[in-house]
Amino acid sequence: MVDFVNIIRPDDWHLHFRDGVMLETVVPYTAKVFGRAIVMPNLVPPVVDAVMMRSYRDRILAAAEGTSFKPLMVLYLTDDTSVQDVVDAKEAGATAFKLYPAGATTNSASGVTDISKVADVLEKMQELEIRLCVHGEVTRPEVDIFDREKLFIDEVLSSIRKQFPDLKIVMEHVTTSEGVDFVLETENMGATITIQHLMINRNHMLVGGIQPHYYCLPVPKRNIHQQRLREVATSGSEKFFLGTDSAPHLRGDKESACGCAGVFNAPRAIEMYTQVFDEMDALPNLKAFASINGPKFYGLPVNDEYITIDRVEPYDNPPEIPLRNNSASIVPFSPPGGICWKIREWCKKRGNR
Ligand code: NCD
Ligand code: ZN
């Protein structure tokens, strides 16, 4: 039995840092392990232009001080995004735009109401080689929440794909077999997969009482979808890469009569992915998923450091993590049965082994 793994320092291709004291609290968990992260723009108000993006990047870098972490910035696509916004974003170093269908998830009220409204913007992104990150769920109220991803593919994504065949699109946090199939059979498409969608299904969230800290969007699906995600993530296919979708909320906002969606999984994230690859007997494929496929899709070099992760006795994340100013707390994600891998060394330069 393998009792440690060495991999190139990983990146996180989808997460939420928020702002203010929450940002200061959560950034270090990511920055000490991951080389880079795609930072989602769904702040209130959302990050919609290059000026907001630059200032948000500076706040993240301040919170990551003392590390070599590099945030990769994403702008929030709205009905009002202009072609000039895309040009300015490219110049300011933006990596991608994020398409939220209006109302799909936390802080998505400013999202796009109709794809035809952003056609010229998508055209420009294709030309300038800026990636499009997609929250793939329709939002019509009559559509069952468990079917929203499949319908998004049929009704929206297929037509974006046909209209802009060279635009590189990431289907964020894919959760269904249908989503996996679409990504596998479509050119210029990749997908991120979260820890929670690999480790839990809807039973974990709903059986024996509602577990608010397992509730996120897209909502965890039935176990056959979870199984498909576990197979494809660990298969070595270069279309799938690590994106935690770590999305911290205050404990009180999750444990509420109307609890909000989002799982804070940044603490011990790489350890939990390692655990899934181990359970699937696929540890040799971890480095592709965590450290190589993402940079390749985004046209970036891989990191030049490595990390070592050891097999250990099962443990849980702490039951809660206080904000830096102690005003409230966040509950980190722990899988059923605990975590049984732990980082030994952080970010050693390759060659120093
Ligand atoms: C995210 C959040 O809280 O910002 N929530 C979630 O459940 N994943 C938004 C998102 O990525 O959908
Ligand atoms: Zn997200």
Confidence of residue 346 (pLDDT cuts 50, 70, 90): low
Distance between CA atoms of 18 and 120, rounded to whole angstroms? 29
User: Distance from the CA of 350 to the center of ligand 2, in angstroms?
Assistant: 31
Contact yes or no for 67/30 (Cβ under 8 A):
no
- Ligand 1 within 6 A of CB of 96: no
Residue 303 lies in a domain: no
What are the residue ranges of helices labelled H in 32-109? 50-63, 83-91
Q: Which atom of ligand 1 is nearest to the CA of 108?
A: 9
The pLDDT score that the predictor gives to residue 349 is 72
For ligand 1, pick from 23, 39, 105, 244 the residue to mutate: most ligand atoms within 8 Å of CB.
105
What's the total number of domains in the chain? 1
Question: Mapping DSSP to helix (H, G, I), strand (E, B) and coil, where does residue 17 land?
Answer: coil
Ligand having the closest approach to the CA of 262: 1
DSSP string, 265-309: --TTHHHHHHHHHHHTT-GGGHHIIIIIHHHHHHT-PPPSEEEEE
Residue 342 lies in a domain: no
User: Which pTM was predicted?
Assistant: 0.97
Closest residue to atom 4 of ligand 1, CA basis: 106
Q: Which atom of ligand 1 is nearest to the CA of 42?
A: 4
Residue 323 lies in a domain: no
Confidence of residue 353 (pLDDT cuts 50, 70, 90): very low
Residue 136 lies in a domain: yes
Residue 82 lies in a domain: yes
What pLDDT, in 10s, does the model give residues 167-206? 999 999 999 999 999 999 999 999 999 999 999 999 999 9
User: Tokens standing for 182?
Assistant: 């679409």
Residue with tokens 């939990």: 272
Count of Cβ atoms closer than 10 Å to residue 71 Cβ: 24
Cis bond upstream, residue 45 (ω within 30)? yes
Residue 181 lies in a domain: yes
Cβ-in-10-Å burial (0-12, 13-18, 19+) of 121 comes to: buried
Cβ-in-10-Å burial (0-12, 13-18, 19+) of 168 comes to: buried
The pLDDT score that the predictor gives to residue 350 is 65
Residue 321 lies in a domain: no
Residue 94 lies in a domain: yes
Ligand having the closest approach to the CA of 175: 1
Distance between CA atoms of 181 and 228, rounded to whole angstroms? 10
Range of the domain at 120: 10-265
Q: What is the CATH number of the domain that holds 102?
A: 3.20.20.140
- Ligand 1 within 6 A of CB of 261: yes
What pLDDT, in 10s, does the model give residues 295-331? 999 999 999 999 999 999 999 999 999 999 999 999 9
Residue with tokens 């605990």: 338
- Residues tagged active-site: 245
